[in-house]
Structure 1
Amino acid sequence: MKPARAPPNAASRELAVKFKVLKFLGKGSYGSVYLVQRLLDGQTYALKEMDVRSMNQAEKEDSINEIRLLASVQHPNVISYNEAFLDGNRLCIIMEYAPEGDLAKIIKKHQMMKRPIPEDFIWRSWIQIVIGLQALHGMRILHRDVKPGNVMLFEHGVAKIGDLGIAKLLTKSTAAKTQIGTPHYMPPEIWRNRPYSFSSDTWALGCILYELAALSVPFEARSMSELRYKVLRGTYPPLPSGFSRDLQMMVKVCLDSNPDVRPSADRILAMPAVASRLHEMSPIGGSNAPPSTAGSALIDTIKVPRNFALIKGKLPPAQYSTNTPLSMQDMDTIDEEYEDEASMIGGGGG
């Protein structure tokens, strides 16, 4: 078997002792993401690996903030944290792996087929995003980058919010001020450089709901200045006629230009259009999620030392739902499952 290319110098690092790299999944602004298998239990996870040598102090603080927030939230609609460790010059975050991809993949697939996404699927996925945000907002966590690419999909129709890389903890008396996020999902108040709060995530919810129905973002533009103009004007093309009045009205209330009028996640879930559908949804959960008894409690701020090597003793403890060793037969089965893909991406990497 020809394995996927492991991260650099893996043979001499802690990563190789705990995990087997199965394949390279992609690259983001801060680093690379791999599919890995934990040797102790044989389960697959996502590894986000960042080279700390290429990061300034603020970026290091953002990455540690992501670990802190991920490790603080235990919820079936938020991607689970499993472990974080410093491996040489690379900061590694082990998280739940989403085998079904993300909502952006679903949108792209339907664009190519020129077929609308079924409304039942839209509601089921979107309501779970709202529930995940309700949990984050309940802990005073503002996500700031809610978009289809950050909504991960699992079997049985489960959807979970991922990527807390730019999330911010808000105190009761403060609002966020940094202009940050993905432009097509940013609300008017951010474009105006005004303080913003949890209702900015509600705006992004409206953008996602619109995009799932229309297969295009509500505010299409060829430049940032045109996008800013369209968002501030607040008008967007009507949704296709085949969708319910409930869905059209939900988009309208979430995309209200006035942040004070936009509904909170709590209010959205209490609205009849959502509450009736929520009642029909079956319970949700994830196979690799930490024990439900873990609960959600905000971990204390992790002070990032200038000498980043000292972060080792400050990272949150590992959280795994199982520590049952895997049999050799199961290991061989997983090897065979990824053999073809691994040989194809042998030249990929970080």
Structure 2
Amino acid sequence: MTPKTEFVKFLGKGSCGSVNLVKYIKSDDDSSLPLYAAVKTAECEEYDTLEREIQVLSKLKGCRSIVQCYGNYTLEEDFDVDGFRVYRMVMEYASAGSLATFIDSYKDSRLSDTLIRDFTRMILQGLVSVHSHGYVHCDLKPDNLLIFPCRESYELEISDFGSSRKVGEKSDCWEVDNPFMGTPIYMSPESVRDNVAEKALDLWSLGCIVLEMYTGVYPWSEINYEDLAAVLLHGEAPEIPESLPCDARKFIETCLARNPKERGSASDLLLHQFLRGEQRMEDTIYDSSLPISKKAIKLKIIPPKPPQFKHLKVKIMPPKPPAFSFIPVQ
């Protein structure tokens, strides 16, 4: 039986088509909870982009920190109210919105250090999957990172793969008057001069995102759009404030290295001190090429008090049980 659908609200517009929140109800007499899904709708001229996106997502099905689709990863064909043919993709709904709206909800648009490190780790876990399957996202930015409430914290997933390309693939997105793949302020210097998708593009974008989470200001906010290509070609990178934690600055500097090879890989960055803290290497578990942090616990044992003596009589006081102070290692 085809479930009944009910439009709830408009969520936004992606690289191809608009996204709405839709409620799916199996039947009127079904007591089970309805399914809420984010439905991306594209017109005929945007079909190729949406088809590319769902094909990439089908390869990443079940991967960590990647938005998942419902159904069998095929586009639904339909007609809009005006009778024009449209195509739909049904995905998970992130009730906390995108990272962009999440940042805006905070005072001064600055996230806490703990959240930044957690979100950065999740982005990298997603990029490990993307890159290991031979793809480059090519448009990594806060708008394309979805936030899902999870108990008392949050989970982050990468979305919007409409601009994705295979590693080494030449792109038709670069143009003389718009020499960027993806969103200019998050794109790397080599995206100005080349037309080949390489994994390092995503790592530069990640550095810009981490910087924005700390400062509350998007990269290159002081530069006019027309001047941005020239700025990048002259060897400049967004300024990193000295007020940031030392390991955070070093992490961002690695992501924003002029030489793409010096950025390393997503797997390398997962092992950066910025994300490991005091965690020991032997406490890292590897599962399908994805490092998962296993927190160690330090035990501080307070020894029992020595026996108490009074005059010539010996009175032995029983030792107090050891007291344990659990100090989680970040």
What letter matches 2:65 in structure 1? Answer: N
The 3-state SS of whatever aligns with 1:66 is helix
8 Å CA contact retained: 2:124, 2:270: yes
Q: More relative contact order in 1 or in 2 (CA 8 Å, sep 6+)? A: 1
Identify the residue that residue 315 of structure 2 maps to in structure 1: none
- The residue that corresponds to 2:65 in the other structure is 77
The reply on whether 1:105 has 2:106 as its aligned counterpart is no
Asked whether 1:47 is paired with 2:36, we answer no
Paired residues for 1:256-335 under 5 Å: 256-276=257-277
Deviation at 1:224, TM superposition (A): 2.8
Query: Identity of aligned pairs, percent?
Result: 27
The question of 1:22 aligning with 2:8 is answered yes
- Output aligned runs, 1:226-241, within 5 Å: 226-232=227-233, 233-239=235-241, 241=243
Q: How far off its partner does 1:177 sit?
A: 4.1
Residue 86 of structure 1 aligns to which amino acid in structure 2? E
Paired residues, number = 255
Give the alignment's TM-score, normalised by structure 1.
0.67
Contact 1:144 1:181 in 2 (8 A): yes
SS at match of 2:105: helix
Matches within 5 A, 1:1-350: 18-40=4-26, 42-52=34-44, 55=45, 59-73=46-60, 74-83=62-71, 84-88=75-79, 89-110=85-106, 113-114=107-108, 116-156=110-150, 157-170=154-167, 174-178=168-172, 179=174, 180-232=181-233, 233-239=235-241, 241=243, 243-276=244-277
How far residue 150 of structure 1 moved from its aligned partner, in angstroms, is 0.6
Give the letter for the 1:237 counterpart: E
> Does the aligned pair in 2 maintain the 1:80–1:96 contact within 8 Å?
yes
Q: Separation in 2 of the partners of 1:219 and 1:259?
A: 20
**CA shift in 2, pair 1:103/1:278, >3 Å:** farther
Moved more, 99-108 or 248-257: 99-108
Distance 1:106 1:119 in 2: 15
Task: Give me the whole-angstrom Cα distance separating, in 1, the residues matched to 2:240 and 2:210.
Answer: 13
Task: Give secondary structure in 2 for the equivalent of 1:82.
Answer: coil
Which position in structure 2 is the counterpart of 1:344? Answer: none
- Which string of whole-angstrom CA distances, capped at 9 and with x for unpartnered residues, describes residues 74-96 of structure 1? 22300001133111311010000
- Distance in 1 separating the partners of 2:221 and 2:3: 47
Q: Which runs of 5+ in 2 are unaligned?
A: 27-32, 80-84, 175-180, 281-287, 289-330
The match for 2:298 is none
Segments of 4+ in structure 1 off by > 4 A?
276-279
SS at 1:81's partner residue? coil
Amino acid at match of 1:275: R
Please give the TM-score of this superposition, normalised by the length of structure 2: 0.71
- Report the secondary structure of 1:155's partner residue: strand
**Within 1, Cα distance between the matches of 2:223 and 2:69?**
37
One-letter amino acid of the structure 2 residue matched with residue 39 of structure 1: I
- Aligned partner of 1:315 in structure 2 is none
Contact 1:220 1:227 in 2 (8 A): no
Q: Is the 8 A contact 1:129 1:159 kept in 2?
A: yes
Question: Which has more strand, going by share of residues?
Answer: 2
Q: Is the 8 A contact 2:211 2:240 kept in 1?
A: no
Kindly provide the CA deviation profile for residues 96-123 of structure 1, in whole angstroms up to 9, marking residues without a partner as x. Answer: 000001111122233xx32632110111
Does the CA contact (< 8 Å) of 2:95 and 2:148 recur in 1? yes
The corresponding residue for 2:314 is none
Kindly provide the CA deviation profile for residues 168-195 of structure 1, in whole angstroms up to 9, marking residues without a partner as x: 123xxx3444422000011000112353
Distance in 1 of aligned mates of 2:39 and 2:102: 23
State the Cα deviation string for residues 119-162 of structure 1 (Å, max 9, x = none): 10111111101100111111011100000111100112100001
Q: Which has the higher helix share?
A: 1
* Structure 1 position 29, deviation (Å): 4.7
